[in-house]
Structure 1
Amino acid sequence: MLGKKVGIVGPYKLTMQIIKNEGTVGLFRGLVPTLVREMPGYFVFFGGYEGTREWLTNPGEKKEDIGLFKTMLAGAVGGLSFWAFTYPADVAKSRIQVSNLEDNMVTTLMKISRTEGIGALYNGLAPTLVRTVPATATLFVTYEYSKKVAALFLQGCLT
């Protein structure tokens, strides 16, 4: 094995390999598990964000005016909520995609739990949570302040 050259497979070549080996349906492997993760996950994500914004809002203040730090904190809570809630589904989704499993999400979750223990559904959660804090804090600050800049810009254009 030493000395064997490994070729770089770009997106086009990989897509062609998948189509050749699995047909067009291979391009959608893992779509259902992804949707199973994303649909309730983003409910929790935005619920965590908006709920935290509401909680951090002082009486008589609008959510939009809570400031940079509180917006970042609310974004971090949204991200932490998402991953804490969806991580087992993400583990199962990844196994289905990478291992080319034909099992559905529930069967995969049950097999992992039975053979490796419940803890296996949370392997890698800690680094994911550490990563999501700055990522989602930045995401929501950028979103909220971009809305403010766009509103000011439009207001300037209309006057």
Structure 2
Amino acid sequence: MAHGVTVHDHQGAVLSLPPSSQPQDLRSRWTALDTLLCGAFAGAVAKTVIAPLDRTKIIFQVSSNRFSAKEAFRLIYCTYMKDGLLSLWRGNSATMVRVMPYAAIQFCSHEQYKILLGGHFGFQGKVLPPLPRLLAGSLAGTTAAMLTYPLDMVRARMAVTAKEMYSNIMHVFVRISQEEGIKTLYRGFTPTILGVIPYAGITFFTYETLKKLHTERTKRSQPYPHERLAFGACAGLIGQSSSYPLDVVRRRMQTAGVTGSAYGTILGTMRTIVTQEGVIRGLYKGLSMNWVKGPVAVGVSFTTFDLTQDLLHKLHQMGYFTH
């Protein structure tokens, strides 16, 4: 007798799909592959949407110039007038190379960590309690960051340099390796991980908590797309604000080779920034732009992931992908 496939939605609840003639291990591989594909697509869409703002934020983060919304949009306008519209997406190819595997690994590992923690804490097939929910997000973000960090370094270098300096992604890797050493590709790794732990944990936790509260209040199993966007925006706003100073520190350390500054340690970098620029104007430089781009990026990412995963689940139900 054929049995339905059991998968877990984003709240950890069990969903039963109709019977399939496919072996269970094949269906399990499909579920993991679906999550990887949906995560990669979600990350690509979200980052492309906010790429000009992201590039501008990085440029301010690694400089000592005072940040303001007026100066940020003046920089965008001057870049557009000098180098053309596509220059606003400079470094986006490196971003795609990094963000697609990063998002794929993060979303896929998040699903796996939820299942693992659900079994460990005795909540298999149920909504995880707050602490495991927070832990699953932190572990997912840490796993993705560890596996894709050199690509983040390359993306930061391409964002803050003229196009004459680095012609493409491989050129960045080769020049950094030859001129500064392989270890430079991991400069800023520690503040990245320290920032990812609260950021990813709080972001996933907030999004899933809002979805859980929505289900309890409305009795609808799934939010509408605009509700998902709002939940993702709230998650991004809270998550990025909590870890932003470490984001500034890692950018300074990543780009030290091209800005001429000596940023060797986390505390040393923080001390230099605070001494020269102050706490708010230094460690939180560009945060107001993050309040614009961060919620948009996270909202688009989570919504795209949910909707594409729902679409693939429906296609599986309808009998597609049977070979």
State if a TM-score over 0.5 links the two structures. yes
Q: Which residues in structure 2 correspond to 1:8-157 (within 5 Å)?
A: 10-58=71-119, 61-101=123-163, 102-155=166-219
Q: Which runs of 5+ in 1 are unaligned?
A: 1-5
d(CA) in 2 for partners of 1:66 and 1:26?
44
Tell me which protein shows more helix as a share of its residues.
Answer: 1
Three-state SS of the structure 1 residue aligned to 2:167 is coil
Identical residues among aligned pairs (%):
28
> What do you get for the CA RMSD once the two structures are aligned?
2.1
d(CA) in 1 for partners of 2:133 and 2:219?
24
d(CA) in 1 for partners of 2:83 and 2:125?
49
Residue type of the alignment partner of 1:46: F
Tell me by how many angstroms 1:58 deviates. Answer: 2.0
Q: Deviations over 1:97-120 (max 9, x none)?
A: 111234211221122122222110
Q: Deviations over 1:9-36 (max 9, x none)?
A: 5232112110121111211111111111
Q: Deviations over 1:39-81 (max 9, x none)?
A: 1111111122111111112287445422111111111111111
* TM value normalised by structure 1: 0.85
d(CA) in 1 for partners of 2:167 and 2:202?
37
* TM value normalised by structure 2: 0.44
Aligned residues: 151
Residue type of the alignment partner of 1:136: A
Q: How has the CA–CA distance of structure 1 residues 63 and 31 changed in structure 2, closer, same or farther, with 3 Å as cutoff? A: farther
Question: What is the match of residue 317 of structure 2?
Answer: none
